[in-house]
Amino acid sequence: MIKSWKPQELSISYHQFTVFQKDSAPPVMDWTDEAIEKGFAAADGAISFEAQRNTKAFILLRLNSSETVNSYEKKVTVPFQVTENGIEIESIMSKRLSFDLPKGDYQLTCWTVPAEMSDLHADTYIIDAVSV
């Protein structure tokens, strides 16, 4: 299955946003020096990705996409398991975005695309979920 969801706006705060299981509470992440260096923190079935700025940004989720990202500032790839159907994404003090990503095991790649490189003219985080 290949799918791309339309970009959704998210207000980034505390330089992070979290991907977690649908209908659950995101865990509190421990941003160790190692996590900061890697650009992500993980806990309890969730992943927090580092965000470059505290600003309004777009989140674009793609499933098994073959599209490339030509201009980006940072790329982080992590394993992730969706235990039920769906994930949610939020930043501290932001609304929650919901995506119907099917249950399964994935490699999530988060591409950080700054506003000046983005077709959306805002910081954009492209999350590619590839089935494994």
Which residues form the domain of 20? Answer: 1-129
Query: CATH number for the domain including 104?
Result: 2.60.34.30
Confidence (pLDDT) at 1: 86
* pLDDT for the residue 24: 93
**pLDDT of the residue at 82:** 97
pLDDT < 70 stretches in the chain: none
What's the total number of domains in the chain?
A: 1
pTM (two decimals): 0.95
State the pLDDT at residue 132.
Answer: 95
Q: Which residue has the tokens 């000046």?
A: 116
pLDDT of residue 93: 87
Best CA proximity match to 100, nearest among 82, 87, 84? 87
By C-alpha distance, which of 22, 23, 32, 26 is closest to 13? 26
